[in-house]
Structure 1
């Protein structure tokens, strides 16, 4: 992941890099951006000077934070326990905290490793050397937010409910906060899909869950390591055997793998599988037809041998989304 320039656009997610998550491939056909309820962040309080934060919708609402200050930012769970620390030394995670594992997934009912419990002794580990991170916070889930019939009928943006994530900054209590908003759907959306074989080699399957930033899902039953490189060509993620691991050595030396999940499945949000702008070209929108606007590929190896993982990005007009049941 590289330090990102903080702009309210998809470029933030691209420059942040592939934020790792562990979510099964059971998501909506057109992703969360086909929903009219969005989690949005309010302006940060003045006390959080040096902190940049934003909500990005990937497979679900996701908070991304950069800490450019000299102080430590602690992210607290619903019970007030810190599970993430972001400072100039990088990002630390409490591997004994249930919230650490739940914050990597957009799914509910995450199985917790042995020794992980709300009252367990903290076990801090460095998971990233740069002071920025992204996570799926359960407090931003939009599933249960209801849109009043009159609001939907009026078709105008409306603030429906509030959300808040408590933090400590330099030891002082504060919060990342915002609202759940009803926002009428745009004239269409981008839809990323795979064009390469879903089983590139025996025992390895690849899937894609669409969203503003799509999520790539790999299930590795081959008994051989699957390695995903980052945008600079450095080993970034290893899936199996024995779980999923993140490389915390961002220099040119040997990878230093830190286990981030058990099992043979892993999913990460992948900015390289997006279109490079917020809107399709004007002629594509005016045509009112599904159209291919980009193609992409990922550097993935199985047991050291490159495999083809490729896809395209299509523009879907709003009428096609509505016909498929994408509205909230």
Structure 2
């Protein structure tokens, strides 16, 4: 069953048919393949990716990501009407605002259920094709699905058909040679400034993900402040809350549904959150330099601010010796 990015946790939808984006993100440690290892299935001829020349409308993001196999992952701003077309040019997925629908009578829907193409029920192989049977899956602005063409190593490129607000759009998908990885920026946290009742860590070797946990011993709710001293995250006793109206809300890569009456929305039922912290992504201009970053936190209602400080260093990957 398809999932979305590795930094999204699965949630079963009402029909048990899909997964959505979530708050918790754990980056896998870097590792290198043995020199004689075979390429993973779907990698021969290059890695499938959205063409750099593709022009998607504002508010729409489309990526090819790797989970158990290559798949598409799309997110929207909840203001679009987008239909995803299958290999037969028939729509099988539809985003209508923040609602997600599937046509259960479309072969594309069943093909998208497994890597390489799921089985198509016999009832859909008759002609003429059955009429559309659109059902509501859930209210969410993003989804991930498999496409058999992503695993077809003999297909150098193809077009993914969309209809965006009623207008047809073909997005070119092509295979690219992977760029050799010579190193990566590694954020490190200095732990001496962490206030009592709070845990903090950088969960991956690279990237700008940051994990915070409010402990049961905390004397109150913690606030994470921006560069102007304004809170955009709160670790409360009943979970973690995000100010969805804050300019950094989308940069956190947390899943949430905006509400009209209040900017604060719950993004975790527990006291732990992993989010994309913009300040951990401030890379120096040169690999020889060391970057510095700081994330201010404080107890809600307190005037005392603690700086969770760290550094960003370039970690070179050494080639294995023969």
In the alignment, structure 1 residue 248 sits paired with structure 2 residue 244: yes
| Post-superposition offset of 1:266 | 1.1
Q: Which has the higher helix share?
A: 1
Alignment partner of 1:225 out of 198, 221, 224: 221
Could you tell me which residue of structure 2 aligns to residue 29 of structure 1? 29
Taking the aligned partners of 1:62 and 1:273, their CA distance within structure 2 comes to 27
Query: Which residue is 2:80 aligned to?
Result: 72
May I ask how many residue pairs the two structures share in their alignment?
A: 227
Structure 1 residues without counterparts, runs of 5 or longer: 1-19, 86-92, 98-117, 126-134, 149-158, 285-291, 324-328
Q: Indicate how the Cα distance of structure 1 residues 24 and 227 shifts in structure 2: closer, same or farther if over 3 A, else same.
A: same
Match of 1:316 in 2: 315
Q: Bigger relative contact order, structure 1 or 2, given CA contacts below 8 A and separation 6+?
A: 1
Give the Cα–Cα distance (whole angstroms) in 2 for the partners of residues 307 and 180 of structure 1.
47
Any residues of structure 2 matched to 1:1-328 within 5 Å, and which?
22-23=23-24, 25=26, 27-30=27-30, 40-43=49-52, 48-50=56-58, 53=61, 72=80, 74=82, 80-82=93-95, 85=97, 93=98, 122-123=138-139, 137=144, 168-172=163-167, 174=169, 178=173, 181-197=176-192, 200-202=195-197, 204-210=198-204, 213-222=207-216, 224-250=220-246, 256-276=263-283, 280-281=286-287, 284=288, 293-305=290-302, 306-319=305-318
Residue 217 (structure 1) shift: 0.9
Q: Any idea what SS the aligned residue of 1:183 has? A: coil
Distance 2:298 2:64 in 1: 29
Secondary structure of residue in 2 paired with 1:82? strand
- The Cα of 1:215 is off from its aligned counterpart by 0.4
**Matches of 1:194 and 1:77, distance apart in 2:** 45
The normalised TM-score by structure 1 is 0.50
Q: 1:196 to 1:247 in 2, by over 3 A?
A: same
- Return the TM-score normalized by structure 2: 0.50
Superposition deviation, residue 124 in structure 1: 7.2
- Compared CA separation, residues 24 and 275, structure 1 to 2 (3 A): closer
RMSD: 5.1
Greater CA radius of gyration, 1 or 2? Answer: 2
Deviation at 1:263, TM superposition (A): 2.0
Q: Distance in 2 between matches of 1:267 and 1:124?
A: 20
Q: Quote how far apart the aligned CAs of 1:139 are.
A: 5.8
Q: Is the 8 A contact 1:160 1:182 kept in 2?
A: no
Uncovered stretches (5+) of structure 2, i.e. residues with no partner: 1-20, 33-38, 66-70, 87-91, 103-133, 248-260
